[in-house]
Amino acid sequence: MIGEELIQLVTPEGERVSNPQYESTLSGEAIFGMYRDMVIIRRLDTESTSLQRQGQLALWAPVQGQEAAQIGAGRALEPIDFTFPTYREHGIAWCRGVPPEDMLRLFRATSNGGWDPQKYRHSVPAIVLGNQVLNAVGYAMGVQRDGAEEAVMTFFGDGASSQGDVLEAFVWASSFNTPIVFFCQNNQWGISTPMSIQSKIPLYHRAHGFGFPGVRVDGNDVLAVYEVTKHALDQARVGGGPTLIEAYTYRLGAHTTSDDPTRYRIDAEVEVWKHRDPIERVKSLLVREYKVKAAKFDEVAAEADVIALKLRDDVLAMDRPDPITMFDHAYAAPHPLIEEGRREMIELGVSGGH
């Protein structure tokens, strides 16, 4: 299903590919910056998996293999844009400036969110498949009504593409020509459900049926993802309406740390995708074209270690919340059942109140 319809600007070996529609506009410095982002995200991912294995997180949703898709898309955004993620968008959260420790509050089970979505213009994670895609279209309708030159981008996967919410979102976005980019990371697996059960045609083809453009980009090629996303966001900002981007990639790890992929997929498939590693690809390009020295890569690795160790410290310092905080923000206005619950909890001596 890859074929010639896939937008690719760099081969897995790190060689440039020319594309008549999309030309890379990135400087060597910017490409190196994205390499750095990807290395840091992979390092944070590894650290988080270890933290889960050591009993410090309730769960972790690995992102390994999808770094280029997320960093390419994340860096194409403008600060003013707004994004609606799932629970796996750690790379996008990083690009939006969300502190890594805030990304882990959900997984430490100390919060159901973790950060201020208005501050970072990055919504809190959505776990129920596809819900956020409709929410994003609604936000985009608001942007449109405000006459603002902002774009909205929402993230989902091949699994969620089967949900009614996603398909309804396509209809609405098309009907109202909303400034939205649907960014689908097709990582080939919805837990154990293979792509073949979700769709018989390439996912990006679905967009045409709804009346807006769809494009498939090599999700392991950060340069291609960046250009394709930037183009779609620019279109959205000037009234060009929605675009569906299918970032064709692969979930190298498990769905979550609760999952065991050896039960449903073969190693040979994983091996094929390891050879398409998104980080190695951009590294090869940087060496080949920009003569980046080994020391520079070592510096990034060392920096990633420092960030990962800080994350570990921050997570270990994250205490169990006072149980009475469960009553905070359940409602915006006073509510008798909240007052009743607070009173009962204080009487039980579970919490001193606050």
Partner 1 sequence: MATTSMTMAKALNEGLRKAMEKNKKVLIMGEDIGKLGGVFRITDGLQKDFGEDRVIDSPLAESAIVGTAVGLAIRGYRTVCEIQFDGFVYPAFDQIVSQVAKLHKRSDGVYTMGLVIRIPFQGGIGAIEHHSESPEAYFAATAGLRVVSCSTPNDAYWMIQESIEHDDPIIFCEPKSRYWEKGEVDLDNPPGGLFDAAVRREGTDVTVIGYGASMKTILRAAETAAVEGVSVEVIDARGIAPLDLDTMATSLEKTGRLVVVQEAPHMASIGSEIVAELSQRCFYSMSAPGIRVSGYHVPYPPTRIEEDYRPTVDRILDAVDRVMEFES
Residue of 201, 194, 181 lying closest to 3 (CA atoms): 201
**Going residue by residue from 130 to 159, which x/- string records binding to partner 1, judged by CB under 8 A?**
x----------------------------x
198-228 as b/e: b if 16+ CB within 10 A: bbeebbbebbeebebbbbbbbbbbbbbbbbb
Residue 255: active-site member: yes
The CB-of-258 to partner 1 minimum distance in angstroms stands at 7
Write down the catalytic residue from 96, 108, 251, 276: 251
Write down the catalytic residue from 42, 43, 105, 255: 255
Residue 42: active-site member: no
* C-alpha–C-alpha distance, residues 309 and 307, integer Å: 6
Residue 335: active-site member: no
Give the DSSP H/E element, type plus range, for residue 84: strand 82-84
- Among the listed ranges 137-145, 169-177, 266-274, 336-344, the one in contact with partner 1 (CB under 8 A) is 336-344
Give the DSSP H/E element, type plus range, for residue 71: helix 67-76
- 327 contacts partner 1 (rule: CB under 8 A): yes
- Among the listed ranges 35-43, 69-77, 123-131, 246-254, the one in contact with partner 1 (CB under 8 A) is 123-131
* C-alpha–C-alpha distance, residues 108 and 125, integer Å: 14
Q: Quick one: which of 268, 294, 332, 348 contacts partner 1 (CB under 8 A)? A: 348
In one-letter notation, the amino acid at residue 170 is: F
Residues forming a β-bridge with 181: 153, 243
Residues 6+ apart with CB under 8 A from 260: 254
- 343 contacts partner 1 (rule: CB under 8 A): no
- 164 contacts partner 1 (rule: CB under 8 A): yes
- 321 contacts partner 1 (rule: CB under 8 A): yes
In one-letter notation, the amino acid at residue 201 is: I
For partner 1, the binding residues (CB under 8 A) are 58-59, 87, 105-112, 127-130, 159-160, 162-165, 190-193, 197-198, 258-259, 263-264, 320-323, 325-327, 330, 335, 337-338, 340-341, 344-345, 348, 350-351
Catalytically active residues, by annotation: 251, 255, 264
